[in-house]
Structures are given as structure tokens and as C-alpha cells.
Amino acid sequence: MQSISSALNDSLIGKEVELRGWVYRIRSTAKLCFVVLRDSSNIIQCVGKIDELGEEKFKILSSLTIESSLSLKGIIRKDERAVTGYELNISDYYIFCRNVNFPVSKDISEDFELDNRHLWIRSREFTAVLKIRSTIFKAFSDFFYENGYYQVQPPMMVSTATEGGSTLFKVPFFGEEAYLTQSSQFYLETFIFSLEKVFTISPSFRAEKSRTWRHLTEYWHAEGEVAWIGNEEMMDIEEKMIQYIIKAVLDQNMDDLKILNRDLEPLKDSLKPFKRMTYDELISQSESLGMPLKYGDDLGADEERKIMSNFTRPLFITHFPSELKTFYHRPDPENPNLILCHDLLAPEGYGEIIGGGERIWNLEELQQRIRDNGLKEEDYYWYLDLRRYGSIPHSGFGLGLDRLAMWIMHLDNIKKAIPYPRTIRRLKP
């Protein structure tokens, strides 16, 4: 028994192999039957002949249905007419499950595809998506392991919000109320006093009633927090990290990118240095970028899309006005109205994939900002403790892995980048 991709090999020509998998396509004539077999690795055309199998076995084989499961034995042959260049001449087979009817056919809507995601997951397209996602998740971790970081595991059930505006999911908690985390940032900050350089990949939950092409209720949040560094160094690290991930995908997933018809140029271009622009510079250039903005305007979806359709590699926007960002961001000592932070916008119109920057590390300053935002100090007692005991300068970031995946694969909706999307109206399958 071997994988289909390993069977597509000149050294096996004329040899008998046994393959197993699922019926990807099936066509038959009176005396010939073509079963295109699929497994996790690839597809191969297998041909059954009535003369060789006998009438009975031929009839059963040729009446198989899409996605039925079977194993096949036969001789490998090179054949230009076959989809992947090789063909298996079936000498015998065993059927595990003959399907009555596989619901996923060639005419399906995006909605039907989502209702049947548990079956759509078998499609070649989604198999490619899953393989690329796997590379992205691994590459993210590898990058940080290779650079001396520790992976940590923050809690998912928490007692307070990280960011004021976001809506939280309430969960019953032994007579109390708990919430599902919307960001692990504050917990990551606690870890740096022990490990200095930490990262995590964990889910974040947002109960906002968002209905957009790039929001999920549950998403995979890749976060990092680093002791002793500032905004610029943080961006240096993120840039290398993104490039490391893209390089891994280009190295390992060329076949999958091809199945998705991904234009490789923007990915290759993103291996070159990223441009950095202050919010001020962005506003003054906004007219020539096709999206006139006034000082104080936040970047919405439309703004980001228009601006980023001018770029083929990611762009850092830095130094936002303080009123546009949440309380924990550190103001620039030389200009307290601006914040030492950054967003990383993905090119080709995709927009924000990372938010990050320096954290306020002075106790009084942080207390002031909490009060200014109408929040209660008691709720943040442990976060404030970090500024009481051995506080240090530090920076961090949060990356939306599903958004990154969506851009890398050039998908038009984030729901196509995650196997089981959770949105305001979708909890199944």
C-alpha cells in the first residue's frame, strides 16, 4: 500500500502497486471504466477493462459513485492521456464503502459549501487550503523557536476584557461569569518577566455582530511579546517572521498554490523589505494613493483596500494618533499625541493582518490611561502589578493567522481560509 504521489514515478512503471483512496471522478464506456482515485497526496487515473476484470467485477466497478472508498491493485504505466501522467491498470479492487449519493457536486453555492464543509473539506481546493494552513502554522512557530522564543499557553476563559470596545462571550463559571478571551496579549505580557521572549497560537473570540469578508467570531490569533525592545525592532522581527512564513509556503506548497491559481509574484515580492510609513505620511500621500483622507480618520475596510491595492508587498503604518488606539499603547515621548505602534497591512487590497507596538511600562501613565478610558483599575490589578514589580520596556504584536492565510492564498473571504468558520450565524458543522 502506498500513496498516490509516490506511485507517480518512472521507477514503478511495469510494477504492480496497491493504492487506496476515494473516487474523485468516474467515467465508463461499455468495455472500459476510468476511476480517478484521490488520496491525501494526489490523484491518479485507474483503468478497468471488462476483458481483464470479468463482466461481474467490471459492472460493479463502473457503477461506483463519487467519493466511494476503495483499494485498487494493478500495474503502473505512463500515459499522456491520464490527468497526472501515469495510469494504473486495475487487476483487482476492494470496495470499502459505495456511496448512494455524494451531496457535493460541480454546481454548488458558497452557502451550500459552508453547510457541507465537513464534506467539502475533501475537495482538491480545500485540501490545498488545509495544507497551506498547516505550513503557515508550523512556520510561525518554527520562526520563533529558531530565534530563542518560548511557546506559552494563556487561558481561554478570562475574567475581563483586554480591549474596551470588543464584545465578549459570556460563559457560566460555577456561579460566576467568565468570558472567552478576545486576545492573549495581557497574559503574554506576564510571561516576559519569566521568559523574556514568548509567543502563542491560540483562538480569540469576538462577540461582535460582524458580517464582513474578513471577520470571524472565533479566529486563530498568533501573538508575540518581547522584553527590552521598542516599536522599530518589533517591526523588524515581524517582517522577518512574515517572510519566513511566505518562504516556507513557496518552498513546500507549490502544487497547492497552483491548484488555487495563486499568482506567485506578490508572494515573491514580499520577500523584499517592507515599506514603513507614519500615519502622517499616509494622510499626506492618501490623495495620490486614490483614497483622500483627513487627519484623524481611521482606516476602515474601504480605505485599507484602496490603499493596499497600490502595493504588492506588506506595508507598515506607524505612529497613529492616540485617540485611534487602545489604552495600553505607549505614546511617543517626543510627541505624546502619537503612539509607538504599527499596523501591518497586507497588499493586493487585503489590509490589516497585524496590530502591535510598545506597551506602556510606567505605572502612573498606565493608571492614567485606564482612568481616561473609563475603565476600572481593580479589573486590571494583575496587569498593573507588572508595572509595579520590575517593569521593563517591551513590545508585542497580534497576527490574525486566518487573515494571513487568506492573503497568502488570495481568497476572497476569510471563511474560505478556515475549515470550520464561526460567524454570527454559523455554528455548524
CB of 105 to RNA, least distance (A): 5
Q: Pick from 70, 73, 87, 267 the residue near RNA by CB under 7 A.
A: 87
Size of the site for RNA (CB under 7 A): 74
CB of 182 to RNA, least distance (A): 8
CB of 119 to RNA, least distance (A): 11
Which three cell numbers, joined as nine digits, stand for 406? 487568506
Which window, 82-90, 148-156, 309-317, 386-394, contacts RNA (CB under 7 A)?
Answer: 82-90
Which window, 151-159, 253-261, 268-276, 397-405, contacts RNA (CB under 7 A)?
Answer: 397-405
Q: Pick from 51, 55, 107, 334 the residue near RNA by CB under 7 A.
A: 107
Binding-residue pattern over the window 4 to 43 for RNA, x denoting contact by CB under 7 A: ---------------------x-xxxxxx-x---------
CB of 322 to RNA, least distance (A): 13
Q: Pick from 6, 13, 54, 103 the residue near RNA by CB under 7 A.
A: 103
Q: Pick from 2, 5, 41, 102 the residue near RNA by CB under 7 A.
A: 102
Residue 341 to residues 199, 259, 293, 380, 390: CA-CA distances in angstroms?
A: 18, 37, 20, 21, 23
CB of 236 to RNA, least distance (A): 18
Q: Pick from 302, 377, 379, 385 the residue near RNA by CB under 7 A.
A: 302
Rounded CA gap, 302 and 22, in Å?
43
Nearer CB in complex with RNA: 344/366 = 344
Residue 322 and residue 338 in contact, taking contact as beta carbons nearer than 8 Å: yes
Tell me: does residue 323 bind RNA (CB under 7 A): no
Rounded CA gap, 77 and 80, in Å?
10
Nearer CB in complex with RNA: 9/65 = 65
Nearer CB in complex with RNA: 81/388 = 81
Nearer CB in complex with RNA: 266/355 = 355
CB of 199 to RNA, least distance (A): 14
CB of 109 to RNA, least distance (A): 3
Which three cell numbers, joined as nine digits, stand for 390? 520590575
Tell me: does residue 414 bind RNA (CB under 7 A): yes
Rounded CA gap, 293 and 315, in Å?
17
CB of 124 to RNA, least distance (A): 9
Question: Among residue numbers 50 through 79, which ones bind RNA (CB under 7 A)?
Answer: 63, 65-66, 79
Nearer CB in complex with RNA: 1/30 = 30
Burial of 135 (0-12, 13-18, 19+ CB in 10 A): buried
Tell me: does residue 313 bind RNA (CB under 7 A): no
Handedness of CA 399, 400, 402, 403 (dihedral sign): negative
Which window, 4-12, 13-21, 111-119, 191-199, contacts RNA (CB under 7 A)?
Answer: 111-119
Nearer CB in complex with RNA: 9/413 = 413
Question: Among residue numbers 145 through 204, which ones bind RNA (CB under 7 A)?
Answer: 163, 165-166, 183
CB of 174 to RNA, least distance (A): 28
CB of 80 to RNA, least distance (A): 8
CB of 386 to RNA, least distance (A): 19
Per residue, the 3-state secondary structure of the chain, as one string, reads: CECHHHHCCHHHECCEEEEEEEEEEEEECCCEEEEEEECCCCEEEEEEEHHHHCHHHHHHHHCCCCCCEEEEEEEEEECCCCCCCEEEEEEEEEEEECCCCCCCCCCCCHHHHHHCHHHHCCCHHHHHHHHHHHHHHHHHHHHHHHCCCEECCCCCEECCCCCCCCCCCEEEECCEEEEECCCCHHHHHHHHHHHCEEEEEEEEECCCCCCCCCCCCEEEEEEEEEECCCHHHHHHHHHHHHHHHHHHHHHHCHHHHHHCCCCCHHHHHCCCCCEEEEHHHHHHHCCCCCCCCCCCCCCCHHHHHHHHCCCCCCEEEECCEHHHCCCCECEECCEEEEECEEEEEECCCCEEEEEEEEECCCHHHHHHHHHHCCCCHHHHHHHHHHHHCCCCCEEEEEEEHHHHHHHHHCCCCHHHCCCCCCECCECCC
Nearer CB in complex with RNA: 153/212 = 212
Question: Among residue numbers 207 through 236, which ones bind RNA (CB under 7 A)?
Answer: 208-217, 219, 221
Nearer CB in complex with RNA: 44/198 = 44
